[in-house]
Chain A
């Protein structure tokens, strides 16, 4: 079978694209490496999606998924590892299968950026975490560190002050990028300590996190902070390296495309957080999904 459109990624952009493709009478296969919903399943509260006052990420994702699949979108859990452009036909490869289609929409989103330290991967689940709202409760009355200076880091730190004995906030600059209101609220807390101008050099502990080593960027002095948890909130990064021989990426690895969601290859579109853009949010992901799907539909008879 040749699908009309194959969508890579079942996050908000990919599922929105699926909805628009199906409603235009096209067949669509959505290939997802992990779980549908993408990044948004990690957040308990969404309060800025137009038309919905408040919803959890899980509910939002499930609503989108049900809308797309009830229209007839097919979702398979396979990671896409290759795409071959044969002109009018594209061949999409996963570990298990090869699929053919007339147009591809890359909606691979972004994933949590890692610090890139030794032991970081090994200790995930043993003290290293990227989701404070998921895991905060396991650190009741313990000392933890939050690494980062953006909105997520400050919100994570605020959340953790409710459970933890002490929360260290490690930030490599001397000012936060986060919402000043949240920063002020965090400063009011008694159990928070700011470690500014500092980077994490090492995660300490063999089988479980015991601490971190931080380095002051001004004095170059190193010190050890004993913590049982490290919450890493240093932003997101794209994961498009397997498509770099096909579509053009910018220096940070995002797929180069404008509002029209077109890549440099005919019949290959991109939508959501994985493309070059300034605002990476649900609304812009959904909008891209619609634009990319309709553009794809227009080249298929």
Chain B
């Protein structure tokens, strides 16, 4: 499955009310390290079994970025049961991202 495009409208339903953990990638098209991360995030989304993956284009969803206090991107946030449980800033390898989901 491709990564879900998240917005203010669907964030609650897709992330906060999700039964399974959600990996959210806060990124922007202008940011190089985000572009590096994007294909890896899609790959993880395709392969994910017990969690789902969403992405927030912060240039369009600045309110969401502010609400979740994102101020450096790429920023990966893991949500479980509607709460943030882990966060990582910067481009990291696939294995390290999967490690976040454990």
Contact = CB atoms under 8 A, between A and B. Distances in A.
B71 A129 contact: yes
A85 interface: no
Contact of B32 (A77, A127, A134): A134
Contacts of B85: none
Interface residues of A, number: 31
A284 interface: no
B28 interface: yes
- In this complex, which of B32, B70, B87, B89 has the most chain A Cβ atoms within 10 angstroms of its Cβ? B32
Interface in A193-234: 208, 229
Contact of A125 (B31, B62, B71): B71
A133 interface: yes
A128 B92 CA distance: 18
Interface stretch (B5-13, B16-24, B34-42): B34-42
B93 A35 contact: yes
A33 B87 CA distance: 19
B72 A134 contact: yes
B75 interface: yes
B82 to A, nearest CB: 20
A229 B59 CA distance: 18
A41 interface: yes
Interface stretch (A66-74, A135-143, A257-265, A273-281): A135-143
A41 B59 contact: no
B60 to A, nearest CB: 11
Interface in A39-70: 41-44, 56-58, 61
A126 B69 contact: yes
A135 B36 contact: no
B58 to A, nearest CB: 7
B32 A125 contact: no
B33 A41 contact: yes
A133 B34 CA distance: 12
Contacts of B91: 34-35, 41
> Which 3 pairs across A and B sit closest by C-beta, in order of nearness?
A77-B93, A125-B89, A35-B91
Interface of A: 32-37, 41-44, 56-58, 61, 77, 124-129, 131, 133-135, 137-140, 208, 229
Given A135-B31, A137-B30, A137-B62, 15 more contacts: A32-B93, A34-B92, A35-B33, A35-B93, A41-B32, A41-B33, A44-B30, A58-B32, A124-B72, A125-B70, A129-B72, A134-B28, A134-B32, A135-B72, A138-B71
